[in-house]
Structure 1
Amino acid sequence: MHHDPISYFQAVILGLTQGIAEPFPISSLGHGVVLPRLAGWHIHQNDKFFLTFLIATHLATAIVLLLLFLGDWVKIVKGLGRSLRMREIRADDTYARLGWLLVASSIPVGVIGLLLQEPLRKLFASPQLAAAFLIVNGVSLLVFERLRRRPPREGDYAGDVDGRLANLSWRQAIGVGTSQAAALIPGISRSGYTMGGGLLAGLSNDDAARFGFLLATPVIFAAAALKLPELFGSAGNGVRGPALVAGLCAAATTFFAVKFLLRFFQSNRLTPFGVYCVGFGVICTLVFALGGEPSSGAGAGRARLWPGLEPGEGEAGERHDDRGDAVLGVVVVGLGVTGGHMPREERWQRVGGLGEVHDCHDDQEHAEQHDREHEFAQVAVHRRKILEHKHDQRRLSPCIAAS
């Protein structure tokens, strides 16, 4: 079955959205699933090429995070090396301890991701489910702020930020990493849940955000390493160019978003993001419910022109049903068939062809019905001619322009 490729315009929009929504606690995956449905794009979120496209944009985000915290990562890698050489983690070695805390925190999400990869992939086919989890994410952010271990006090957060992060216990760090695993579900924010876990562990908002950014970097890189080869295989056909454009857009917006959030959380909380997620999730849920389009499977994201039939695809993105004219004739005949005034055998004779009606007890009624059927059949033929004419114009326009 043919699927519409991701256009460069769509790639720009999705890339900008990814760059903003990944560091912001509003779920980049949730927005990546919901946005195509809201925009009416014929992108199938359960297809491998779309998942590969998302991995490419996440990789761009991870690269920016690595560069923004490059100084920290250099110190962390050196600290890990020292601890391996000494075969111990010294209490006064801040970056060795912080490095192993990050390693321990990344294990839960890695294990859960490997075990639930296929079930989670199917969740991408449901924008309704992603919208519902956006609401869950928003409520969770509000609850995290409500249940934080204690209000931040100035004396508790004096000194070096990495030193404060290194003072987390192993249990607290692993708890934060486990909460990050919930972000494998579209609509649940990775940064939101890691920040929430940090708040429950007693961190301030800005320290929790910093720990979340450090923790997200290896996790996103690991996910990209597993899926990135698909970008250069058959799953990447038709998506490599748009993925590159989207990656550049995601990288640019991620840089400014992280810079903004590190300043924002020095004096603000998760509350506005929680309110946004609840409101946006409710709006999306209502729009999808009123839209009535299929939400998963082969028909995801496409309108059905006739019950039980898939819409055809024309060139230049125009979608129409190639069998619509034939169906129109059957439906027109059915207007007289389903009235219940004829025996079953005569009804099948009536469906057999336009105007071929036998054993009609009222000749005048038959003549009027025949005229109506003939008129509707002419409308169907006229409609097909118009579509064929438009199709020929599209095919000839490049030749005319070249001449």
Structure 2
Amino acid sequence: MSLIEAIVLGLVQGLTEFLPISSTAHLRIAPELFGWKDPGAAYSAVIQLGTVAAVLIYFRKDIVALVAAFFRGLARHEPFGTLEARLAWFVLVGTLPIGICGLAFKKVIENQFRSLYVISGSLIVLALILFVVERRASHQRTLADMRWKDAIAIGLWQALALIPGSSRSGTTLTGGLSLGLKREDAARYSFLLSIPATTLAGIFELKHLLQATERPSALSLWVGTLVAFGSGMAAISWLLRYLRSNSMLVFVVYRVALGVLLLVLLQAGKLKPLSGVENIDVPREPGKQQIEKQVTD
């Protein structure tokens, strides 16, 4: 992987991780359009650590307050006594679905699900769901109004993000809006909920990436991660400002347009659905020479 590739992929990761347009989809599409090798799900997960760092720094005051309230509540035997303590528990509980599903469907997610047909389909379907939810949502509730059932429901929405093209921020924002949360509050909770899931995924995949026989250089990983951090900080700041006075319609239109464009390019043969994906386990029937050799042996 060249440094140009690392910079481009890091920029794509940072800008699209927090916008409801799917970073995984764009990291899968960008190499295909430029004629590069697909970096794979492991590389994508590792450079996500850059966007995790962006969330940690941007929301450092909120995170310190949540962690302090969590342990203070345990010490006082009142684990749910304050809003901050409850939010900390909600983030932990909301992370369980994506963690369980991620481990259970790891191979499928990293291989067959990275097909551009799957990505284009999820881009369009989730966009339409977001459109309906956005139109019908009350946009009245705040984080202070959240309950356990809300945390579990948004956690289940987040698990859908394991399907490339659906978008982790997109699914959690949709889940939050469907429960009546204000756009900015839904986005804020989505950012906090991203921390455990993306951190664990990045660390888990980093181990496998380092054990692989063919992997990007350490420099490519560092450059991609640092660029993802910088662009991620910019994306968080912009999205929170945007959602204070704007709807999600622009993201709906973008997702549908991108999904349709992908389908057109796939049907025209300009793109291959699984071209460059390295980890595909496609069972092959033994060829004639192999059969003859087996018979001879």
Common fold, TM-score beyond 0.5? yes
Q: Deviations over 1:347-397 (max 9, x none)?
A: xxxxxxxxxxxxxxxxxxxxxxxxxxxxxxxxxxxxxxxxxxxxxxxxxxx
Give the superposition deviation at 1:203: 0.8
CA RMSD after TM alignment: 1.9
Q: Deviations over 1:39-97 (max 9, x none)?
A: 222x146xxxx222112210111011111111111111111101222233344x12111
Tell me which of 69, 74, 78 is aligned to 1:88.
78
- Is the aligned partner of 1:116 residue 2:105? yes
Give the superposition deviation at 1:301: 7.3
The residue aligned with 2:25 is 30
The residue aligned with 2:53 is 63
Which residues of 2 match residues 207-356 of structure 1 at below 5 A? 207-235=185-213, 237-291=215-269, 294-296=272-274, 300=276
Distance 1:241 1:202, change over 3 A: same
The residue aligned with 1:308 is none
Larger Rg: 1
Task: Supply the distance in 2 between the matched residues of 1:239 and 1:124 (Cα, whole angstroms).
Answer: 26
| Partner AA of 1:290 in structure 2 | A
The residue aligned with 2:285 is none
Task: Supply the distance in 2 between the matched residues of 1:174 and 1:276 (Cα, whole angstroms).
Answer: 29
The residue aligned with 2:168 is 190
Q: Are 2:114 and 2:164, in contact at CA under 8 Å, matched by a contact in 1? A: no
Task: Supply the distance in 1 between the matched residues of 2:33 and 2:276 (Cα, whole angstroms).
Answer: 12
Q: Are 1:140 and 1:274, in contact at CA under 8 Å, matched by a contact in 2? A: no
Task: Supply the distance in 2 between the matched residues of 1:142 and 1:115 (Cα, whole angstroms).
Answer: 30
Distance 1:254 1:190, change over 3 A: same
Identity of matched residues, %: 34
Q: Are 1:62 and 1:217, in contact at CA under 8 Å, matched by a contact in 2? A: yes
Give the superposition deviation at 1:151: 4.4
Give the superposition deviation at 1:140: 2.1
Return the structure number with greater relative CO, CA threshold 8 A, min gap 6.
2
Task: Supply the distance in 1 between the matched residues of 2:85 and 2:19 (Cα, whole angstroms).
Answer: 28
Q: What is the number of equivalent residue pairs in this alignment? A: 278
Distance 1:238 1:214, change over 3 A: closer
Structure 1 stretches of 5 or more lacking a match? 1-5, 157-163, 303-403
Q: Are 2:50 and 2:229, in contact at CA under 8 Å, matched by a contact in 1? A: yes
Give the superposition deviation at 1:294: 4.2
The residue aligned with 1:313 is none
Q: Deviations over 1:108-145 (max 9, x none)?
A: 11111111111111135412321222112221221220
Task: Supply the distance in 2 between the matched residues of 1:286 and 1:90 (Cα, whole angstroms).
Answer: 51
Q: Are 1:44 and 1:125, in contact at CA under 8 Å, matched by a contact in 2? A: no
The residue aligned with 1:199 is 177
Q: Deviations over 1:242-283 (max 9, x none)?
A: 121111111111011100111100001111101100001101
Q: Are 1:125 and 1:300, in contact at CA under 8 Å, matched by a contact in 2? A: no
Give the superposition deviation at 1:235: 4.9
The residue aligned with 1:14 is 9
Structure 2 stretches of 5 or more lacking a match? 279-297
